[in-house]
Amino acid sequence: MITMENKQRVKTIAVIFIIAIVLISLITEFLYIFNNKYTYSKLQPEKGVLTLSQEEIDSNSFHFLIKDWEFYEDALLTPTYFKNQTSLPNMKYVSIGDTESAYTSQTKNNTFIGTYRMKINFPEKEGFYALEMPQVYSAYELYINDKLYLKVGDTHNYKAQIQNRCTFFAASGETYITIAVKDASGIKAGITSPPTLGKPYSINITRAFKFLINNFIMTLIFFGALFSLILAISGKSNYSYMFFFMCLIYAVYLNHPLINLCFSMGGNFSYVFEYFCTHFVYLMVIMLQNRLCNLNKNVSSISEICGSVFCAIAFVYGVFTPYLSAPLCTFLSTLCNVFEWLAAIYLVAIGTYAVFNDIKYGRIFLFGNVCFAASLLLYIIQPLYDSIYTDQSVEMGILTILGCLYFVYWASIIDNYRRNIVLDDERRLMERQINLYKENYVHITEQIEETRKLRHDMRQHFRVISDFANNRQFDKIAEYLGEYSSETNDTVPLFFCENLTLNALLHFYVSSSAKNSIDFKTSVSVPNGLPMSDIDFSILVGNLVENAMEACSKAPLKNRRIVLNCTADKNKLILDLKNTFDGNVKKIGSKFLSFKKGMHGLGLESVNAVVDKYRGVMNVSNSDDMFTVSLVIFF
């Protein structure tokens, strides 16, 4: 039977799904339109020729060379070859990002060989330009006209190297760009991201901006990892080591493109690093959410074992791809893609389970997991996406889920910190309450001893009074009784009410008030056995009276007064406390601040927390010289 609570949970889950999908779709669509090489540039080459006027160069800072590259398959050609040969090898036009048009040779023996060529008609007036070459897999030579400008790796004696490079050149009129590429990795081949042509200043600004964005995100994650390690070493968090490794691996993974801006990396290492890091982060996310959501041990174990197996497959795929057959490489690549989808589906299921079972932070888990799954789907729907400034859409989904985990992780630490503060306060209150009971017990013992002595001396006093009466010395009787009364007068009552906690508190504070020349009037009727813990009752009364005494002590001596009225039964508690003060009040908005160091007003905050806990109502007000706190709590 579907209960109202379950219906509400289903509505909550549906709302989270809609918000997450709509939000990640809007962000991804925005990035796809405004942060995408394939949708940015308007002017593109046609049949291997790009004509740029001076007006076009001035109005557009850079151009992404995407369409209609001349492509010569299975040939490493140089500009000299094009000049000397009358007949050229078979040529076809390809577009960067078209995975089917240029890579047919790779399926033969896992080796890709090809030459890209484009003619650019610059203005006749010589200008200075920049050409950014993104990561090309896995070795290439770049020629501009007859000159070799860039060489990454070795295309002849094959040596794979990956690096994001940029070259600067002067050009006018007809200019040919020739790129000879070789790859034997079997994973990626050739130019997979469009080269960028533009003014040097614009290219450098774009590279620097992307560097700063990635570096900022990477730094945040890295410092989170570092702090997690500190907490792990100090033993203050159960999952700190796991969170540390997850953040560290992803921070390094994000830093991977930044490293490629400065250093060349071995091609095979780059593949291994990229595939393994991605799948390892998925595994860490699954393991963390399994524990934070208190999932069934069998389900958690199965999911973590499967994730570990797929991580091993990703590692093997990266390391041994050059030595594997093309069908096996395709099979392993498909397995890695399947793992991404299985991880996304599993995480969405975890989030749904967490919300349905009212697990703390379950809604945040579900939101992040749905964002990640939606980003995977959008990545398939929008395949031609190559970011200009930020990471790809899948990375945005991973960052979202990491951000949610980051929030949950720190919120859990803050909750533990607050819990420790509460425990410390409770311990302090218990110690104070025990001391109050001890002091009250000593005072009662002293009073009993004093009463015993008085009873013992009573016959002597009666004899003295009798002698004065027989001698008609009535003034002596009055003088004697006055002296006796002053010696035995006790200004602090022993009992205020039946409630032992309140009785001990009032005895302590009334005694302290007398020492500070404060007139403390009480009218209380509170029984034992209230539906409120003694600790909460101590917080309530103790903080209010302490604040009253602090404020009252600043008032003139003749105007120091506290009046406490408190009644309670099994159904309600009514408390009204008035005290005089010097008229100075410190407030931020409606919040009253203490005059003690720090000015935080934590006493009233603690009182308000207890009132909220029992669904009560509290009102705080002040006049010229009177401060009033009134509260009602219904049990």
* pLDDT at residue 269 greater than cutoff 70: no
Closest CA to 248 of 279, 288, 219, 214: 219
- Residue 60: which domain range? 49-198
Pick from 215-219, 268-272, 456-460: least confident:
268-272
- 400 - beta bridge partners? none
The encoded tokens of residue 113 equal 């060989």
Q: Which residue has the tokens 């799948």?
A: 279
Of 448, 470, 487, which residue is a domain's last? Answer: 487
Pick from 223-237, 345-359, 512-526: least confident:
223-237
Question: Quick one: 392 and 262 in the same domain?
Answer: yes
Question: Quick one: 133 and 228 in the same domain?
Answer: no
Asked if the structure places residue 34 within a domain, the reply is: no
Mean pLDDT within 21-42? 86
pLDDT of residue 164: 84
106 band by pLDDT with thresholds 50, 70 and 90 = very low
What crossing angle do the helices spanning 393-470 and 4-34 adopt, rounded to 10°?
130
Question: Quick one: 460 and 546 in the same domain?
Answer: no
pLDDT of residue 110: 67
Say how many C-beta atoms besides its own lie within 10 A of residue 196's C-beta.
24
Question: Quick one: 460 and 527 in the same domain?
Answer: no
The encoded tokens of residue 119 equal 């003619």
Question: Quick one: 252 and 396 in the same domain?
Answer: yes
Asked if the structure places residue 531 within a domain, the reply is: yes
Asked if the structure places residue 13 within a domain, the reply is: no
Question: Quick one: 170 and 70 in the same domain?
Answer: yes
Give the SS3 label for residue 620. strand
The encoded tokens of residue 396 equal 């945005």
Question: Quick one: 496 and 477 in the same domain?
Answer: no
Mean pLDDT within 326-349? 85
pLDDT of residue 126: 92
Of 174, 198, 222, which residue is a domain's last? Answer: 198
Question: Quick one: 292 and 226 in the same domain?
Answer: yes
Question: Quick one: 118 and 168 in the same domain?
Answer: yes
Of 399, 421, 443, which residue is a domain's last? Answer: 421
pLDDT of residue 227: 79
Asked if the structure places residue 30 within a domain, the reply is: no
The encoded tokens of residue 286 equal 């699954």
Asked if the structure places residue 43 within a domain, the reply is: no
pLDDT digits 0-9 by tens, 33-90 = 888 888 886 788 999 999 999 888 888 778 999 999 999 988 899 999 988 877 777 8
Give the SS3 label for residue 624. coil
pLDDT digits 0-9 by tens, 414-470 = 877 777 777 777 677 677 767 766 676 677 777 677 777 767 677 777 777 777 778
Q: What are phi and psi of 93, to 5 degrees?
A: -90, 130
Question: Quick one: 349 and 446 in the same domain?
Answer: no
Asked if the structure places residue 6 within a domain, the reply is: no
Domain count, the chain: 4
Q: Is 41 left (phi over 0), alpha (psi -120 to 50) or beta?
A: beta
- The CATH code of the domain that includes 362 is 1.20.1070
Question: Quick one: 243 and 374 in the same domain?
Answer: yes
* pLDDT at residue 624 greater than cutoff 70: yes
* pLDDT at residue 102 greater than cutoff 50: no
pLDDT of residue 98: 66
- 265 - beta bridge partners? 162
Per the CB < 8 A criterion, the answer to whether 281 and 250 are in contact is yes
Asked if the structure places residue 20 within a domain, the reply is: no
- The CATH code of the domain that includes 622 is 3.30.565.10
Per the CB < 8 A criterion, the answer to whether 605 and 611 are in contact is no
pLDDT of residue 100: 45
Share of the chain above pLDDT 90, in %: 26
Asked if the structure places residue 23 within a domain, the reply is: no
Question: Quick one: 87 and 166 in the same domain?
Answer: yes
Cα distances (angstroms) measured from residue 402 to each of 66, 241, 264, 283? 33, 15, 29, 12
* Cα 144 from Cα 153, distance rounded (Å): 18
- The CATH code of the domain that includes 163 is 2.60.120.260
Share of the chain above pLDDT 70, in %: 85
Q: Which amino acid is at 153?
A: G
Closest CA to 181 of 115, 247, 273: 115
Q: State CA 612 to chain mean position distance.
A: 27
pLDDT digits 0-9 by tens, 566-611 = 999 889 999 999 999 887 776 655 555 554 544 444 567 788 888 9
* pLDDT at residue 266 greater than cutoff 70: no
pLDDT of residue 104: 44
More confident of the two residues 485 and 569? 569
Mean pLDDT within 552-569? 91
Per the CB < 8 A criterion, the answer to whether 221 and 402 are in contact is yes
Mean pLDDT of the chain, nearest integer: 82
> C-alpha dihedral over 179, 184, 188, 192, to 10 degrees?
0
